[in-house]
Amino acid sequence: MAKTVIKLGVNVDHTATLRRARGTDYPDPVVAAMICEYAGCASIVAHLREDRRHIQERDAILIRDNIKIPFNLEMAANKEIAAFALKMRPAQATLVPEKRKELTTEGGLDLGKYYKKIEGTVKKLQDKGVIVSLFVDADKRSIESAKKIGCDLIEINTGRFSEAKTTREINRELSRIKEAAQLARSLGFAVAAGHGINYANVRDIVKMPEIEELNIGHAIISRAVYVGLVCAVEEMIGLMNNRK
C-alpha cells in the first residue's frame, strides 16, 4: 500500500515581519513564496491582519498572481478584510480569531459566540468560489459547529500541544488532536493542522493518518536564517513524510 503524502503549506508572514523591523522593502514575502513553491511545498499561507503588522494587501495580491500552487489567505471574519478577500478571491481562505495585542493567534475560533458572523463570511466566500477552512480547537463542539456552518475543511489548532512541557501534557494534547481529527474525518472534512509546529514536534503530529496537511511558518522562516529557505522547506517536507 502506497504511503500517503502529507502536504505542507508554508506561512510567509515572518519574512514581512523582518521587513517591517527596519522599514525596508525587503525581504519580500512574494519572493519567499516563490522560493517555497520551488522547494516543493503544496501551498502558500499568509495572514492579512487587521493591524497590517506584517502582510499587506499588495503582498497577498502578488503572491496569488505569482505562484501556481494554491494561496491560502488567513483572515478574521472582519468586514474590511472579508471585502478584500471577496475581491481578490484567493484559492482558499482560513478564518482565524484575532486580537490586536496578541503576538500570534492564541486559540481556535469561538463558533458559539460568533456563529452567525462566521457563517455569513463563510457563505459569502464560498459564493465567490473560495474554499473555506475554519481554524478550530481540538474539541467536539467546535468541529460539530464547523460542520453545521458548512465550511469545506478544518484546521486543528496544535498550539496547546506545541506549548506543552511535560510528557503527560504532550500525550494528553496529542490524544485530543487525534480524537478531533478522527471526528472531523468521520464528518467528511479534509483535515489540516497547524500552530507552533516545528522540526522536533512535527514527528508526533504526522503519525496521525487523518491529518492531510500541515501549515507551518515561524519554524521554517527561523530555520531559513541558518540553512536558507529552500533547504528549510525541503527538510520539513522530509520529516513530515517519514511517518514512523
List, by residue number, the catalytic residues. Answer: 47, 74, 195
Quote the CA–CA distance of 17 and 71 in Å, as a whole number.
19
Tell me phi and psi for residue 78, to 5 degrees: -105, 140
Spell out the long-range contacts of 163-168 with Cβ–Cβ below 8 A and sequence spacing 24 or more.
163/196
Tell me phi and psi for residue 151, to 5 degrees: -70, 165
Q: What dihedral angle (degrees, nearest 10) is formed by the CA atoms of 49, 80, 151, 159? A: 20
Output DSSP code: residue 70. -
Quote the CA–CA distance of 54 and 74 in Å, as a whole number.
13
Quote the CA–CA distance of 141 and 229 in Å, as a whole number.
38
Distance of CA 242 to the CA centre of its chain: 21
For 3, counting Cβ atoms within 10 Å of its Cβ (0-12 exposed, 13-18 middle, 19+ buried), the class is: exposed
Q: H-helix or E-strand containing 109?
A: none
